[in-house]
Structure 1
Amino acid sequence: MNFYGHDGEKRKCIGFCVGIDHAQYMSDEFNKRGIKSVCLTGENSPEERESYIKKLESDTDDLEVIFTVDIFNEGVDIPAINLVLMLRPTDSPIIFIQQLGRGLRKHGSKEFLTVLDFIGNHNKAFLIAIALNGSRYYDKDSLKVAVATQFANIPGCTNIQMDRISQERILDQLNEENFNSMKYLREEYLKFKKMNGGKIPYLLMDYIKYDGAPDPLKFLNKEKTYIGFVAKMEKDEELKKLLEEEVFLKILKDLSNRLPIKRIYEFSILKYLLNNEKIDIEQAKSEILKYVDYVDNESVLHSLNCLNGTYYDSAQLRNSVKCFELKDGVLSVTWDFKKIVQNKKYRVYIEDIINYAIIRYEKEFENKYYGIPFFKLYEQYQMIDAALLSNFTKIHSSFRGQGLVTNGKEYFLFIDLHKDENIEEKINYKDKFIDRQYFQWQTPNNTAQSSERGKNIIFNKDRGINLHAFVRKYKEIDGIVQSYIYIGKGDVVEYYGEKPITVKMKMQNEMPVSLYTEFIKKV
């Protein structure tokens, strides 16, 4: 504390402890050393708490530190705090964020907050990395890079110093941890349930309420539906019984499969069709415009076709329920869909997915129109998403496999930076970042300079061809296929070689340093 200091004349500190005995011990020891402290827990009356908080905030009172257990995690506001001591193991990123948040309130008396976290030798120190990384999505690799670079990617005036031993300990734990294992997901779910007041979070919407809540899509992906996961965790026979209704389960899986949504068009139409039997193009457009500030007619029609299942392959048609019928520009609800949403016990879960999808989308992307294709810079995508977002009018699942897929003048480059050790030489492409603005890419190995496709790539600018680059570091982490990150459009400025052609592209957007570091750094 003496070394790192605090902002302001008087130290106004909160120390988060493991239990009441610990908080009392810390308070006694600090008082012995002449630092006026008290221990406040749930056993103190609200009046006592109030009185000590006022003393801590006062510049004239000599109280400098309150040691506490859980009472200040949430709901208690002391904006004047200028020092936070984390004295308990972090067993949940949410609680870490809540405790950190106690000190992050703005106040005229301070320009910065000092946080001292005594990480300790406990087996969940890596959760601090999850809490500090704070991005909407993370994987083991991005967390390792964050730790190795001392969280250089955190915006604003934040300076994090980790001692070498803590750093190594966290990196070792990250190597050992599998974020997709049932053991890890169960722990994360139970922590969230506790935070939810011990109530079972039956709905995806329960997660929207809390900052720092886990991403429920991890649970959903494990079991194909979110309530399937809850049924497993809670051994809930009623939920299991609900999932025995085949039509309901298929609709649930189909909607769950679209999360997180990449454009809001289909789901705004779905929301309307929960209470209406049909929708035409004009009505569909006005529903979509409730959420985005513009939409083109081509995309409105395309989304009606998507809901109709027009672009499903034979397996998708077999495994899904026909919920809507498109005829003469009007999308009507089928009897199968109607009977499910008219039944309260099923409807609540269908409605939940639709509401969650829309609210999450709005929180992340607001109401901006991104054109066609509907890509957002530095967002995560799967290959098949490019078909949806470029209004592809053939079977969408044909967008798979290696490297390059096209829709008219839109060329989509899907790139793995680090190839598997045992990859065949003929597909071991030498794709890499040259710097934050230039990227080297090799075409599929059957592409000749003289072919139409070859010319479209090497003279893309003259020929009006848009080259969209999607990059991922590894194909799989912990057995889970990774998404690609969209890094924008590029133009070819140099090229050489045949089958494959090696091209150097100048990207239209210079890459943010933090993302660039994440891509190129191996830990």
Structure 2
Amino acid sequence: MTGVDYGKILKRLESKDGDQLVRELHGSLLNGYVDQDEFATVGDLGPKLLTNQSGNQIWNQLRHELQTCQSYIFAVAFVTDAMISSLKPIFKQLANRGIQGRLLTSDYLYFNQPKAFAELLKIPNLEVKIAKVDGFHQKGYIFQHHGYQTIIIGSANLTENALMRNYEWSLQINSLNNGDITHQVSENIENEWQHAQPLTDQWIAQYQLVYQKNHRTTHAIAQMVKNGQPEIIGDYIEPNQMQKEALAQIADLRKAGKHRGLVISATGTGKTYLGAFDVRNAKPKRMLFLAHREEILRKSAQSFQKVIGGPKDDFGLYTGNVHEKDAKYLFATVQTLQDDAHLHEFSPNEFDYILVDEVHHAGAKSYQKIMQYFKPEFYLGMTATPERNDDFSVFELFDYNVAYEIRLQQALEADMLCPFHYVGISDYQFNDAQVNEEIASYQNDAAHHQKEVQAIEHLTSKERVHYILEQTEYYGYSGSQLHGLIFCATVKESEQLAAELSRQGHPAKALSGSDSMVVRQQVVKELAAGQIEYIVTVDLFNEGIDIPCVNQVVFLRSTNSSIVYVQQLGRGLRKAKNKDYVEVLDFIGNYKNSYMIPIALTGDASYSKDSARETVEIEPTIGLSTIAFDEIAKERIYQSLRQVRLNDMKKLRNVYQNMKFRVGRVPMLADFMAADSIDPEILANKKKNYAQFLIGEKVPIELSDYENRVLTFLDAELLNGKRRHELMLLDDLLAQNTVTEEKLKQQLKEANCQVDESTMASMRRVLDLTFYNKNASPSRADYGGQPIVIFEPDMQCYRLNDELSQSLQNNPWFKKLWQDGIKTGLMRAERYRADQRFTLGEKYTRKDVMRLINNQINTTAQNIGGYYFNDHDGAIFVTYHKSKEISRSIQYGDRFLNDHVMHYFSKGKRRLDSPDVKKFMDGQRRLSLFVKKSDADDDKTFYYLGTCRYMQGSARQEQHDGKPIVSMNLELDQPVSYTRYHSLID
């Protein structure tokens, strides 16, 4: 280096007794601005470029800075109501902690809506001013921490697209309070702040008048395209991307000679238009559209006419009051058509295309009667929820032909639905603990509660309803008019709640299944027109009736079914004019089933408590949808998770039965993979292997002891798909007696797999069982004792052992299960990188790691502790939050110093010259870091965070529990992702 000797400066700083913060910041600056190789950083204060790419959302960093700051200032030109809505839960937490904030914004270009300004006034401890600078176009976020400031400056306004989706450049820097950059920014902000206009109701009223004259509205067609709705070109409507994919797959079904097809599509994703597009493509002579509600028929007929075109008389209704039986496209209610007098008005071959909407109802006798009578060329069924709790299989009805499937989370990611802003709020607590217990008991089992009347009196009391309204007012809704939908536990509760809401100035009406269709339609019209603010119901609006204007959904009940929960959530997700998001407020009491909430919100089918807990901890985004929980609500979900067993046999049987309905036979593990259902490992390892699970479900499988043991090997060791080599060889040996080494290597190369001799030898040790110890668990005997695959070194080829070959020839069930395990393992392998031994962010057990670092034997049979070395690899295992119940001698303080440096402790009784300590430092081994948050639920898996290296000069001799120990810093070659980092350290 020339000029300034930064190395001397850094050494001089480190030799001082000054503040650790000063040393960390100087090191970070030298690393970020001078030389990243010469100056390794310790601390999380270096400069960062935030882009919204590769999971690097500016929103996440902004949220983190807010949650850890002492005060904050935003200076942003543009602000949206949707972004304010997502930030409200955080602002509320900050206000509860006494954290003050300031926001400087503008009326530049009249981008900011008056409602956005009005929402800002609701936020406690936030002072807002309007800049008087002409052309104010700043985009800066300043956070005061203890002794230093964090500044994010770049291209991102306070809008949902800028902070979550757009490709932005925002630079995050840190500076001590007396740093020049801090001084420049603070001076600039303070100068503008002093001259700015305070935000008041009066200012907003004046702005409203000017805004209406100057604001440029987006054209309706452009809005439809943006929203993912069918694109209108002249008088012609074109399908969106999802619909194009679905139409191609439905067409493929017909080309294959299939006469029935099922479409599974989340509410609001355009199922009706999809059906119309397919009818337009199929060009039937006559079409019948079946539904169970007349309002569905009327809206569907209108949509079909827009798509297909032609005379209005071509589109007719067949209901209790209207019998337009000669229409080319006939829309009929099931209730009417099931009557013999009406059904026999038509011949069985009258329609060559029949579309059944909400087809999960088709198990009813009325549907069955109609569908058995008619013989069309093609039946198309459409539903958002094919799963049922009875013995009827929608899949069987449609010959197991699933033409297309898109679920809620996929649709949100694809921007096909209106985003939701979910807030889990702790429900109101009465001063009387006995009252709270009574309410919790009622909410957990309202249908059988003995003191229903008393519980409802409390739940609809003046004070509880006032509390609910406080929350709904603060969190708000999208648009200028509230259109709310409230779900509660019973009809009586809904009626009394609606009455109390109305008494407190928020007009509401209750609706239940006993109300006539005329009454329902009238109340829905009143909600859409703004004559009432809320409809209060139990389960009436789970499906069927669309109320696109709904912009606030409120849950005042426990969650007994994730399917029903998603159905009710979906009521607000249909896109509508002047609606950018739907606010979802979930009042969480002491519910035994609240563990279902994070599972339902993310659609996670892993049956992992760890995943559900992580959703609550990191509050992920789904597209532009956000999730937040207050602290009490979080603890209630954690408590529910602690008490439930997600993988108990009852739940697994339900999953199994649903899949059996879906495929129409005994489901194989590959079926669960293909349907993105439960992780097959859970089913396969519940009872040693999947064969034993099936035997428990009365499937007539007979296996020899040896067959049972090798199936256990396959399911326990290879089904996870974490290395393809063994699976690909076993797959080859199903088709041929021998496989040459040359051919196998060629296949592995084509699959981008590693074919070095160390990996190939490791594969052979696994398949001949020498990797497994004789006297440990699992042992070689557990897996049959003899080599599963024999390698002939002279011929350089592989073959199965004779007993296994005979079983594959003589036992059809064994062969089917063996093939299925291999197929499923290869399908599951798609989640892992083929060209690397480990995949960042995926989870591995110690045994997995021993296999994948090509270790000679499975040393996890012994206690390998926190790390293990062989000649070429080092595997480091960290439990971040250690149990207080473990021995003090191993309660080391391993911790992240930042997102790419871990401060790590050796095993006890080690010194700087101990052999294993030297192995960290000598650079002769590839070091891989595996971390898990805690030992909760006896989870034996660790997240792979990447390769790392010892930071030169960082080792220190220390004492722990009276014994020598060595601490050091390990630097990851790639920083830990934001969400993983904070899920581990928080």
CA distance change for structure 1 residues 311 and 340 in 2, over 3 Å: closer, same or farther?
same
Who is 1:484 aligned against?
942
Who is 1:514 aligned against?
979
2:949 partner letter: D
From 724, 727, 737, the counterpart of 1:264: 724
SS across alignment from 2:627: coil
2:977 partner letter: P
Given that 1:273 and 1:333 are in contact with CA atoms closer than 8 Å, whether structure 2 keeps it comes out as yes
Who is 2:48 aligned against?
none
CA distance change for structure 1 residues 470 and 167 in 2, over 3 Å: closer, same or farther?
closer
Q: Deviations over 1:56-79 (max 9, x none)?
A: 9xx999999897959967x99999
Who is 1:467 aligned against?
927
CA distance in 1, matches of 2:654, 2:607: 19
1:431 partner letter: D
Displacement after TM superposition at 1:209 (Å)? 4.5
1:204 partner letter: L
SS across alignment from 2:965: coil
**Runs of 5+ consecutive residues of structure 2 not aligned to the other structure:** 1-471, 959-963
SS across alignment from 1:274: helix
Displacement after TM superposition at 1:348 (Å)? 2.1
CA distance in 2, matches of 1:62, 1:209: 48
Displacement after TM superposition at 1:192 (Å)? 2.3
Who is 2:581 aligned against?
112
Who is 1:90 aligned against?
559
Asked if 1:351 is matched to 2:351, the reply is no
Q: How does 1:10-29 map to 2 (within 5 A)?
A: none
2:597 partner letter: I
Who is 2:905 aligned against?
442
CA distance in 1, matches of 2:633, 2:479: 29
CA distance in 2, matches of 1:293, 1:76: 50
CA distance change for structure 1 residues 301 and 225 in 2, over 3 Å: closer, same or farther?
same
SS across alignment from 2:928: strand
CA distance in 2, matches of 1:78, 1:196: 32
Who is 2:733 aligned against?
273
Who is 2:709 aligned against?
250
Q: How does 1:122-521 map to 2 (within 5 A)?
A: 122-132=591-601, 140=609, 143-144=612-613, 146-147=615-616, 149=617, 151-154=618-621, 156-162=623-629, 166-175=633-642, 177-179=643-645, 185-193=648-656, 195-196=658-659, 202-211=667-676, 213-232=677-696, 234=697, 236=698, 238-239=699-700, 242=701, 244-258=703-717, 259-288=719-748, 292-298=751-757, 299-300=759-760, 302-315=762-775, 316-321=779-784, 322-327=787-792, 328-342=795-809, 343-362=811-830, 364-365=831-832, 368-371=833-836, 374-392=837-855, 394-397=856-859, 400-401=862-863, 402-460=865-923, 464-474=924-934, 476-478=935-937, 480-493=938-951, 494-497=954-957, 499-521=964-986
Displacement after TM superposition at 1:439 (Å)? 1.1
CA distance in 1, matches of 2:645, 2:800: 39
2:645 partner letter: F
CA distance change for structure 1 residues 423 and 60 in 2, over 3 Å: closer, same or farther?
closer
SS across alignment from 1:500: strand
Q: Deviations over 1:139-160 (max 9, x none)?
A: 556645643x5x4344554333
SS across alignment from 2:597: helix
SS across alignment from 2:599: helix
Displacement after TM superposition at 1:254 (Å)? 0.4
Displacement after TM superposition at 1:421 (Å)? 3.6
Displacement after TM superposition at 1:257 (Å)? 0.5
Q: Deviations over 1:270-308 (max 9, x none)?
A: 222222222122322344456x43433433454244323
CA distance change for structure 1 residues 379 and 197 in 2, over 3 Å: closer, same or farther?
closer
Q: Which has the larger radius of gyration?
A: 2
Given that 1:11 and 1:65 are in contact with CA atoms closer than 8 Å, whether structure 2 keeps it comes out as no
Who is 2:376 aligned against?
none
Q: Deviations over 1:234-279 (max 9, x none)?
A: 3x2x44xx35521221121001102322122221222222222221
1:285 partner letter: K
RMSD: 4.5
CA distance in 2, matches of 1:379, 1:198: 31
* More relative contact order, 1 or 2 (CA 8 Å, 6+ apart): 1
CA distance in 2, matches of 1:388, 1:94: 39
SS across alignment from 2:868: strand
Displacement after TM superposition at 1:512 (Å)? 2.6
Displacement after TM superposition at 1:390 (Å)? 1.9
Displacement after TM superposition at 1:404 (Å)? 2.0
Q: Deviations over 1:210-245 (max 9, x none)?
A: 45x33343343331123423433x3x2x44xx3552
SS across alignment from 1:433: strand
SS across alignment from 2:744: helix
Identity of aligned residues (%): 24
Displacement after TM superposition at 1:187 (Å)? 3.4
Given that 1:379 and 1:485 are in contact with CA atoms closer than 8 Å, whether structure 2 keeps it comes out as yes
**Runs of 5+ consecutive residues of structure 1 not aligned to the other structure:** none
CA distance change for structure 1 residues 268 and 37 in 2, over 3 Å: closer, same or farther?
farther
Displacement after TM superposition at 1:128 (Å)? 0.7
Q: Number of paired residues?
A: 488
Displacement after TM superposition at 1:107 (Å)? 8.3
CA distance in 2, matches of 1:92, 1:270: 41
Given that 1:92 and 1:191 are in contact with CA atoms closer than 8 Å, whether structure 2 keeps it comes out as no
CA distance change for structure 1 residues 98 and 245 in 2, over 3 Å: closer, same or farther?
farther
1:477 partner letter: A
CA distance in 2, matches of 1:260, 1:79: 43
1:439 partner letter: M
Displacement after TM superposition at 1:331 (Å)? 1.0
CA distance in 2, matches of 1:422, 1:61: 58
CA distance in 2, matches of 1:349, 1:438: 45
Q: Which moved more, 1:293-302 or 1:314-323?
A: 293-302
CA distance in 1, matches of 2:508, 2:771: 70
CA distance in 1, matches of 2:930, 2:791: 33
Q: Which moved more, 1:307-316 or 1:115-124?
A: 115-124
1:112 partner letter: Y
Superposition TM-score, scaled by structure 2 size: 0.43
Displacement after TM superposition at 1:505 (Å)? 1.7
Given that 1:152 and 1:514 are in contact with CA atoms closer than 8 Å, whether structure 2 keeps it comes out as no
2:734 partner letter: L
Displacement after TM superposition at 1:102 (Å)? 7.1
CA distance change for structure 1 residues 341 and 197 in 2, over 3 Å: closer, same or farther?
closer
CA distance in 1, matches of 2:805, 2:496: 63
Who is 2:237 aligned against?
none
CA distance in 1, matches of 2:545, 2:854: 49
Q: Which moved more, 1:198-207 or 1:248-257?
A: 198-207
